[in-house]
Structure formats: C-alpha cells, structure tokens
Structure 1
Amino acid sequence: MADAAVEPVVSIGAGALGRGMPMHLCLDPSGLITSAGPTLAKIAPMPLVGLGFFTRFDLKRPIGIADIAGLRGSGQRLHLTLRGAADTGLRGLALALPDGGVLLNLSFGIDLPDAVRQHRLSDADFAPTDLAVELLYLIEVKTLVMAELHDLNRRLQGAKSVAEEQAQTDTLTGLRNRRAMDNRLAELIDAGAPFGLMHLDLDWFKQVNDTFGHAAGDHVLQHVARVLTGETRLHDIVARVGGDEFVIILPGLIDAARMHGIAHRIIDRLNEPIPFGDKVCSISASVGMAISSAYARPRPDRMLSDADQALYASKHAGRGRATVHSPDG
C-alpha cells in the first residue's frame, strides 16, 4: 500500500507574511502571539506579540473555543473582536501549522468602512491583492450617487410643488385661481365642513380700463387683491375667477351678520380712491353671499350660482352693496 501523500511545508519570513497578509496572527502551540500583521498591529491599542491570543481577543463564534486545540480544529469562519477596540468586528480563518501552532488570517468583513474611518487606514494597510480598496471606492461612489439622487429628488419635489402652486395661482394678483377655488370647495363639502361663500364683482372697473388703460386696470386689480387679503383670515381662500370677479371662501363662518360685516369693510376700503401715477382710479364693489348651512346638501355649482344671483341683486339695488342669498327666495 502506497504511503499517504505528505503536504509540502512552505516557509515564509515575517516581513513577506506581513506584506501578503497584513492582518495575520501567528500563534505558537501554547497560544502566544508570535507575529502580527502591520495593519492588525496598527489598530491594536497595545503591542500584541508575546501576549496570549485569548487574553487579547474575544471569540464570538464558533461558541466554546477556548484553547489552541479548539482553534486548530475549528475549520470554519471565526467572528472575533480585539479587546480595547471592540467597536471593530473581525472575521478570520484559522490554519493549523505543522509545529502545533495556528496561522490566523483576519479581515474586517462588513465592518470595513467603519474600520477604515475609525483607524484612518489607507491603501497601504491592505494586501495588494485585497479588494478592500476597490470595495471602499464602490461604497463611496454609491454614497455619492445616492446623495445626488436624493438631492435630485428633493429638487424635483420642490419643482413639482412650485408647479402645483403656480397652477393654482393667478399670476397678476397672486391670489388663488378658479382651479384652487374648485378644489377647496370640493374639500369642504366632502368633509361636511360649514363655510360661507362671497362672490365679489368690481363696479366701474371697465371705465378705469377705458379711461386710463390696461396698466391702470392691472394696478387696480393688484390693489383689490391686497384689500381682500387684508380683510380675510389666513386660512380663507381668496380667488380671482374672472377679469374683475373674485370669490372668497370662509371656512367655519356661517353667521350672516359677520359675513355682512366683512363684506362692508371690503366695500368701504374699495370705495377709497386708488392713486395711479398722477391719476386717481375710482371703483366700488358689489357682493353676493351664500352660506352652506342653508342647504340640506350643498353643491359647489348651486352655491356659486346662488351667490351670483345675490351679487346681481346687489348691483340692481344700486351697487356697492352686499346681499345674502336665501334658498327660500
């Protein structure tokens, strides 16, 4: 019967071993550390050579290994930490040496990015064949790409918000437009929330345009927008829905007397002369109002139509007036 094949013994100096395996440990048969790779020595809080392996390292897995014999027979991946640097996890493989000792080849595993950052490691701290640096490069690239994507998404969301805001804003006055008014009416009715509605139309506005030109008309409309905003609450909706027509939605306000008070304050302020260069523009306003609680189930089109009827009742009564629509006539 032929003799069993004998594995050749390879001898390598400590310097070469350190270059090829910068995170190695050599243990003698008693478990003392006889050699430590330069990277492992760099992260250790104190010199390792001459100390017992089990006094400097905590072996997490496999469980139950407490001596050199257990290491030599482990045959599986080791999970361990270095005492004094417990934040850095290590992975390794134990190889039995012919003299009864052990060669441990260690790495940082998934803790590589944290270890490089914590211990200020560089390319020189890894073996030339180690893919750690390439992995770090990929991680850095991924981080930069994710940051750029996050920033792009934030800018797109911002642009979307701006576009949505612009889509519901009257460009001349900065007030809400008809689309915003329709959306808010639908929200209030769907929620069953009470509200008051005002439809305001400017009196004598056509004469301003005909006499002083459209620039004066635009100036007057912007002045009206400031008055309406100033006489309403922050959560009220003031919308320009036509050339010189405005709708005001007053959530929670269904008291006719209070609505009359707001309407008359607006009318009084719009009766004041409006300077435009060396000219003075004069307008007034008529208001029609509807209150959601006056309807069994309010509908936007019905309430707008009723407020419009009340508006024309104000105009026919002499302009510069406010009228609340009564569903009973």
Structure 2
Amino acid sequence: MSLPFDTLDALMPMHLQISRDGRLRHAGPTLRKLLNSSVGEGRHFADVIEVYRPKRAETLPMLLELAGRRLQTRLRCGRRVALKGLVMPDGAGGAIVNLSFGIGVVDGVRMHSLTSTDFAVTDLAIDMLYLVEAKSAAMEASRTLNRRLQGAMMVAEQRAFTDALTGLQNRRAMDEALKRLIRGGERFAVLHLDLDFFKQVNDTRGHAAGDRVLQAVARVMIDLTRKNDFVARVGGDEFVIILDGLTDRGRLAELADRLIERIEHPIPVDGDICRISASIGIAFNRPDAMPMETGAQLLERADEALYSAKRHGRAQHAFSDEDVVRELP
C-alpha cells in the first residue's frame, strides 16, 4: 500500500509519484513551485523530467532499471533546472523519484524564492542555507568594517600630512614631496616664504588674530598657485611652495611679486586691520648636479635666498646665489 500524499509531501517535498503506466500521479509541493504548477496528474513522467545520466530513461521500465543509483535530471517544464535524483519502486508497480538541488541549492533558492518551509525539516539543505546566510552576513559585516577602516586610515593619513590651522600640507608632507620629485629627476622650483611683521600681530592683537592672518595668507597662496602645485605651512609663519615643471625665472619672479602684493593687502580681523608682508627665497632643483642634491640641501639654498631678501629690505624675493650664476638649460 502506497503512502498518503501528505506524508510523502512532508518527507520529500520535491518528489514525483509515477504510476505503473509511467504517468504522473502526484508531485511534491516544492517541485510544483519549480514547475510553475504547470504539471497535472496524468502526464507521462518523461514529459516532466529528463533523465540523462547514468543513461537515458524514457519509459518506466528503463527508469526502474536505475533504482538506487544517482540520477542526473533536468526539468522539462518551467525553468530547465538541473536536479539530482533517486528512483525506487513504490511496491505497486510504479515508482517514486526523489529530487534535490544538490550543491546548487543556493542558486535554486534564489531563483525560485524558496524558504525553509519548502524543504523537509531533516534536509541538510536547511543547515546549508543558514550557513550561507550567516557567511553572507559575516562577509557584509567584514566589508563594512574594511570600508570603515580604510576610511579611518585615509582620514588619519590626511591628518598626518595636513596643517590643522590652515588646511595646507605640513612639513612631513613637504619632505615626502621633495623626495619623490628629486628621485624622479624632475625639474622644479621651491619658494620659501616667511611673513614680515607677523610677530607684531601676535604681540599686539593676540594669537587668535595671528591665526586668522595665517589662514588668510594660506588662501592667498592657494588662489595664486596652480591646482597641482604643492603648498605647505612648515613653521609658525613659514611656508613652502613647490612648483613642479616651472623653472622660468621671469614667471617665478612674477609669481613671487604677486604673492607679496596680495599678502600686503589689509587683513580685517574682528573689526580691526592687520598689515603684514612677506619675503621669498627661490631655489631650483638641479637633477643634473653631481652628486645629486638632497631635499634638505635644496631647502637650505631656498632659505639662504629668503634671508638675502630680508637683508635687502624685506617684502621682496631673491634667487639662490648658486642658481643666479648657473642658469638651468
């Protein structure tokens, strides 16, 4: 005597019951979902599933010859899903074919919107689905954490290379930029800028006013330099500008004069006016020099030019003596 349909549906939600004439008697509820409910009783089993391994089986006798062996099948109705199967005689001249997704269960669940209720409670697919969901959740959590860590690292790195007051690059960033450009054999100019009369602002109006003046000077330098130029605050009122690829003395002199002229504009601070100026020393990187000059040596020459400008009255620029006597080609 064959088992009731509801018993088989609970034990094997993806089964087919085939009568002695090879026709479908019943299909489990999950299998009906895959078939889009398009299969009714009375159709021949070969119209519903294609058994192609270990060999083709298009009649019930051929199918029963494969009893107990692992089958590879495809659905002929609905989506042509590949399924694993096992066929056994039902004791009444017919057969029962139990089907499963095998390792393709995750794709099957996603494709057909299946849930845990579509599988037998003893089916290992349920545990596998829980593991897959847990793994997906863990991977998403890991990706989120990695994104946060990368963002935090970028922020930390940016802070490590940024002057907090002005938003310009800092001395550490300048050192790295000089190393990179010198190592690459690039021709560039370094402008070392020091503010004149800034100490009087701090002494008479306080450090808060001095900070506002430094921020205003930083905006001037950003306004007058190119987007890819390097601008850094390297000390209290000292700044360095690195101009990659610009070594024309005339253009550099013009830029230095414009910087000084703009910095000399009155700076309003809390209803008062602050007045400062600037002196600038200019030095060129010489990639053909032997031995190759270091960043510290280049800055030292720019610093010497800066103090030459100060000695000659401030509010002006000067080129490094070595660059004056040795023009770049």
- Indicate whether the TM-score tops 0.5: yes
Deviation at 1:107, TM superposition (A): 1.2
Which SS does the other structure have where 2:162 is aligned? Answer: coil
Deviation at 1:29, TM superposition (A): 4.6
Is the alpha carbon distance of 1:245 and 1:61 closer, same or farther for their aligned partners in structure 2, counting shifts above 3 Å? farther
Is the alpha carbon distance of 1:53 and 1:284 closer, same or farther for their aligned partners in structure 2, counting shifts above 3 Å? same
Q: Contact between 2:182 and 2:287, CA under 8 Å: does it hold in 1?
A: no
1:50 and 2:34 correspond:
no
1:71 and 2:66 correspond:
no
How far apart in 2 are the matches of 1:191 and 1:77? 66
Deviation at 1:91, TM superposition (A): 1.6
User: Which residue of structure 1 lines up, in the alignment, with residue 13 of structure 2?
Assistant: 22
Segments of structure 1 that go 5 or more residues without pairing to the other structure are 1-9
Is the alpha carbon distance of 1:158 and 1:24 closer, same or farther for their aligned partners in structure 2, counting shifts above 3 Å? same
How far apart in 2 are the matches of 1:272 and 1:124? 78
- How is 1:120-135 mapped onto 2 (pairs within 5 angstroms)? 120-135=113-128
RMSD over aligned CA atoms reads: 2.1
Which SS does the other structure have where 1:49 is aligned? Answer: coil
1:165 and 2:158 correspond:
yes
CA shift digits 1:49-76 (9 cap, x unpaired) = 2222222223353354444344333353
Deviation at 1:38, TM superposition (A): 2.0
Deviation at 1:21, TM superposition (A): 1.3
1:285 counterpart (256, 278, 283): 278
User: Which residue of structure 1 lines up, in the alignment, with residue 28 of structure 2?
Assistant: 37
Segments of structure 2 that go 5 or more residues without pairing to the other structure are none
How far apart in 2 are the matches of 1:73 and 1:259? 93
Deviation at 1:24, TM superposition (A): 1.0
User: Which residue of structure 2 lines up, in the alignment, with residue 144 of structure 1?
Assistant: 137
Deviation at 1:208, TM superposition (A): 1.0
Task: Tell me whether 21-30 or 297-306 shows the greater mean CA deviation.
Answer: 21-30
1:245 and 2:217 correspond:
no
1:310 counterpart (305, 308, 311): 305
Q: How many residues align?
A: 320
TM-score by length of 2: 0.89
Is the alpha carbon distance of 1:240 and 1:150 closer, same or farther for their aligned partners in structure 2, counting shifts above 3 Å? same
Deviation at 1:162, TM superposition (A): 0.2
How far apart in 1 are the matches of 2:9 and 2:119? 10
How far apart in 2 are the matches of 1:244 and 1:180? 17
* Structure 2 counterpart of 1:32, one-letter code: R
User: Which residue of structure 1 lines up, in the alignment, with residue 262 of structure 2?
Assistant: 269
Q: Contact between 2:22 and 2:59, CA under 8 Å: does it hold in 1?
A: yes
Q: Contact between 1:254 and 1:293, CA under 8 Å: does it hold in 2?
A: no
Deviation at 1:198, TM superposition (A): 0.7
How far apart in 2 are the matches of 1:84 and 1:202? 84
How far apart in 2 are the matches of 1:123 and 1:289? 75
How far apart in 2 are the matches of 1:180 and 1:60? 68
Q: Contact between 1:41 and 1:48, CA under 8 Å: does it hold in 2?
A: no
Task: Tell me whether 131-140 or 314-323 shows the greater mean CA deviation.
Answer: 131-140
- How is 1:85-96 mapped onto 2 (pairs within 5 angstroms)? 85-86=78-79, 88-96=81-89
Task: Tell me whether 64-73 or 98-107 shows the greater mean CA deviation.
Answer: 64-73
How far apart in 1 are the matches of 2:247 and 2:115? 72
Deviation at 1:11, TM superposition (A): 4.2
